[in-house]
């Protein structure tokens, strides 16, 4: 920082790796222009052995390539939202692993649990309280600790969700995004945290392509081949949008009168099947997110004929 403080304002190139956003904010406060380059796009320009000199040359060559788009420097509030989502995902994965472990151990002693995470703990506590359930005495203390650990993780997840709900009122973009079907608190805050500035996408298709929801293309000459979705971009955001699309499809089947979006999704399901309809609806939801976010308007649903 002392070296950068003594330098006149310049363009500083960094890889978008760990702590890069922190150093980007520090350098911007000194008047420098910070450009974060994606590591996967910079690595092909590093030839032969990896040294500081070749890394510098690779950064310069990647910066000259206009097809490589820089990563926006995240603000402190965006990184706080990102950290909350990372913690929630970590605890959610650990909770799922513990639930599967408890379910599998009980099955070995003839205790089957119905499908669904909400069935595991009540069933496990009932078996622990029953002296004639057939569980060995040596297993009971450890199994009780595992159940208590699951309860603790659920409390942590709820705490993060309450913190996200408190930050919801401070972010107008999150409030607008939550008016879209299939976009709730988790998806809206994740989009604001991970995407940052939506103005950098010129159209909704560019935004959907950024999330990996557009078809993979293998074309040559006059022959155009479109395959499955590219699955590029952030896996977490794509997963949330696909889950939201599935929720919209499920709700559309329960309603007698559906909006235009839900009616379109049901028609795609009849023609192409459930999975393709969910992906197509996630693609459309991404484009709606771009339009609502970019133009700062609430989503208005059109009633289907």
Q: What is the pLDDT of residue 259?
A: 79
Over residues 168-182, the pLDDT tens digits come to 778 889 999 999 999
Name the pTM for this structure: 0.88
Q: Taking residues 21-31, what's their average pLDDT?
A: 95
Domain ranges of the chain: 10-64, 76-168, 172-295
Task: Give 54's pLDDT tier (boundaries 50, 70, 90).
Answer: very high
pLDDT-derived band at 256 (thresholds 50, 70, 90) equals low
Task: Quote the tokens at residue 251.
Answer: 């709700």
pLDDT (tens digit per residue) in 130-144: 888 889 999 999 999
pLDDT at 300 (0 to 100): 86
Please tell me the predicted confidence (pLDDT) of residue 260: 85
pLDDT tier for residue 11 given thresholds of 50, 70 and 90: very high
Determine the pLDDT at residue 258.
Answer: 65
CA 166 to CA 162: how far, in whole Å? 6
pLDDT over 70 (residue 35): yes
- Answer left, alpha or beta for residue 296, where phi above 0 means left and psi between -120 and 50 means alpha: left
The C-alpha atoms of residue 188 and residue 181 are separated, in whole angstroms, by 11
């Amino acid at each position: 920082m002392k070296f950068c403080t003594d330098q006149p304002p310049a363009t500083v190139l960094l890889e978008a790796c760990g702590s890069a956003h922190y150093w980007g904010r520090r350098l911007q406060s000194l008047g420098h222009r910070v450009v974060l380059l994606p590591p996967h796009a910079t690595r092909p320009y590093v030839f032969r052995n990896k040294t500081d000199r070749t890394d510098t040359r690779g950064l310069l060559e990647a910066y000259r390539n206009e097809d490589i788009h820089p990563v926006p420097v995240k603000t402190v509030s965006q990184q706080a939202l990102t950290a909350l989502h990372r913690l929630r995902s970590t605890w959610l994965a650990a909770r799922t692993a513990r639930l599967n472990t408890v379910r599998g151990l009980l099955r070995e002693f003839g205790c089957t649990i119905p499908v669904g995470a909400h069935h595991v703990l009540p069933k496990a506590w009932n078996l622990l309280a029953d002296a004639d359930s057939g569980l060995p005495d040596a297993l009971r203390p450890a199994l009780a600790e595992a159940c208590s650990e699951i309860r603790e993780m659920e409390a942590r997840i709820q705490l993060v969700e309450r913190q996200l709900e408190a930050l919801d009122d401070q972010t107008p973009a999150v409030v607008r995004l939550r008016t879209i079907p299939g976009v709730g608190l988790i998806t809206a805050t994740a989009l604001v945290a991970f995407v940052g500035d939506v103005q950098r996408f010129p159209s909704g298709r560019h935004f959907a392509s950024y999330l990996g929801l557009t078809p993979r293309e293998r074309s040559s000459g006059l022959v155009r081949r479109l395959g499955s979705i590219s699955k590029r971009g952030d896996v977490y955001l794509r997963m949330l949008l696909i889950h939201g699309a599935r929720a919209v499809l499920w709700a559309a089947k329960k309603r007698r009168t559906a909006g235009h979006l839900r009616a379109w999704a049901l028609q795609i399901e009849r023609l192409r099947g459930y999975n393709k309809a969910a992906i197509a609806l996630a693609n459309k939801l991404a484009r709606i997110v771009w339009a609502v976010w970019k133009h700062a308007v609430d989503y208005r649903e059109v009633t289907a004929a």
